[in-house]
Structure 1
């Protein structure tokens, strides 16, 4: 019978396993909380690009068009047509938006994400 010294033994300790479990769990929690807000941002960006390309001529028309698209896309809750900034660059309409999203991770810890975007000129 041969004895194996402690230096030759390899493996994961219980403390190491718990550390990795907590780390992976924390990353998964943050990912599950942040992904819906990213999805909403991407939907807003697509909607703003579509509204800018449709060619509304006045600011109220553009805002009304965004509100119509918002009713179709149920995932947009953070902004409305009033929050859009409409400008012109080189005779093309550019729509800009910005908003903050606050996410509760674990009470009293919050994550604040600031989103901003604009339509393609």
Structure 2
């Protein structure tokens, strides 16, 4: 004998599953492109703090940064990109750069990175 009450099935359809998997895949590919730039930025932050501690003059600080960049596999910035501002007896080191990640066709993702050794994270402008 058949039951007179029909139970409605619940769940995701095949088309819905494909759509969700496509979205998860796109987010995953984007994350795989962003994570290496974020890791490199963390290496750059460590390198500018080590460079500040490793030198007292602009030339020593830049040479120290170059050594850190070589061992830390830093390719986005060099010692030429560092901004050094005298703050009393020491120098504050700052760096800012952009990273472009191509997406699809003409679309790109632009990431702005900035780091400084100044207290409070606010870099002063260099005196000319």
Q: Using structure 1 for the length normalisation, give the TM-score.
A: 0.86
Give, in whole Å, the separation in 2 of the partners of 1:4 and 1:109.
53
Unaligned regions of 5+ residues in structure 2, if any?
Answer: 120-128
Give the gaps of 5 or more residues in structure 1: none
Closer, same or farther: CA 53–10 of 1 in aligned 2, 3 Å = same
Q: How does 1:1-121 map to 2 (within 5 A)?
A: 1-2=2-3, 5=6, 8-54=8-54, 56-74=55-73, 76-121=74-119
Q: What RMSD over aligned residues (CA atoms) do the two structures have, in Å?
A: 1.8
Which SS does the other structure have where 1:11 is aligned? Answer: coil
Higher relative contact order (CA 8 A, sep 6+): 1
Deviation at 1:120, TM superposition (A): 4.8
